[in-house]
Amino acid sequence: MDNQTASEVRVHTEPGSRDGITVMKVSGPLTIRNFFEFQDKTRQNTSPVLIIDLADVPYMDSAALGSLLGVHVSCGKHKRKYGLINVTERLLTMFTVCGVRDVLVTFPSLADAEAALL
């Protein structure tokens, strides 16, 4: 095992192009060592539509995937909508292998997500 510290993950939240939409841009690998900021921000979000941009997430582990499933459950429970955008092939493969690709809501782009979710 190496002594390398966990890579930093950055989470930036901004309004979408329409009222009621929040866009959360995540950058960096999302793992059990660093996903708590992401999880906290998704839990604090109360907008009717949350769009999570994963373009700059090269990989995630099962704990981070669990936090995405938490978003799915929370949004369903509170009658809100969400979408994952710009999901890399690597992450889509992970979603497929874990059996959640058809559970998680994904869109190819921000424009597609905004059009479908509002």
Q: Where do the domains of the chain lie?
A: 10-117
Q: What are the tens digits of pLDDT across the range 52-105? A: 999 999 999 999 999 999 999 999 999 999 999 999 999 999 999 999 999 999
Sign for the CA dihedral angle at 95, 98, 102, 104 comes to negative
CA 80 to chain centroid, in Å, comes to 15
Q: What are the tens digits of pLDDT across the range 10-36? A: 999 999 999 999 999 999 999 999 989
Local structure of 41: helix, strand or coil = helix
Phi and psi of 26, rounded to 5°?
A: -110, 135
Among residues 20, 14, 52, the alpha carbon closest in space to that of 118 is found at: 20
Residues 6 or more apart in contact with residue 9 via CB below 8 angstroms: 26, 27, 28, 29, 30, 31, 34, 35, 37, 38
CATH entry 3.30.750.24 includes domain 10-117: yes
User: What pLDDT is stored for residue 23 in this prediction?
Assistant: 98
Contact at 8 Å (CB) between 41 and 22? no
Instruction: Give 3-state DSSP helix, strand, coil % of the chain, rounded to 5.
Output: 35, 25, 40
* CA angle centred on 54, ends 51 and 55, rounded to 5°: 120
Contact at 8 Å (CB) between 45 and 24? yes
Confidence of residue 3 (pLDDT cuts 50, 70, 90): very low
